[in-house]
Amino acid sequence: MPLPSGSWASLKGEEQKQARIQWTEAGGIALLPCGGLFSAVRAPAHLVWAAADTEELPVVDAFLRQWFDGGAAFADLHALLSYFLVPSSTAWKWTDRHLPGVEYLGRDHYLGVPAVHLTEPQGRGYWCLPMDSAGDLCYPAVVEKLLHHGRATRSGVNAQ
């Protein structure tokens, strides 16, 4: 059975089979390599919550949908981390290194990705910004702007 189109359908052969098995047998999390279809920016959830000005997850999710107008992101509710999927061809460029805990995950990294149907804030992880179509990723500059906004909000500086 193939994965749903518009989400992870572009995974190839064995990767698609392994992801499907892990999503059904490993608690809804599949270990996927970064640097191929996507890379990721990992950030502390508190920066995202600060940018959204709330810790209410449904409100944060709505904020992210508006902020990104597309893209793909998920939350790890146990580790309190947010993951923004970005194109592998785009290097994470630091314009300001005052973002502690933020890391670009490219080649040589694996990412525990929630199953595509996990879109509600419960369990270990879920898609707060589900991927609408294959290749619908976040722009790194928009991710960086969001995180700087969150940092500025936490420190009481006008981030607009």
The verdict on residue 3 lying in a domain is: no
Give me the domain span that covers residue 25.
13-154
Overall number of domains in the chain: 1
State phi, psi for 76 to the nearest 5 degrees.
Answer: -100, 105
Q: Within the chain, which residues score under 70 in pLDDT? A: 1-12, 26, 91-97, 157-160
**What span, in angstroms and rounded, lies between the C-alpha atoms of 38 and 113?**
12
pLDDT at 154: 84
Model pTM score: 0.86
The verdict on residue 31 lying in a domain is: yes
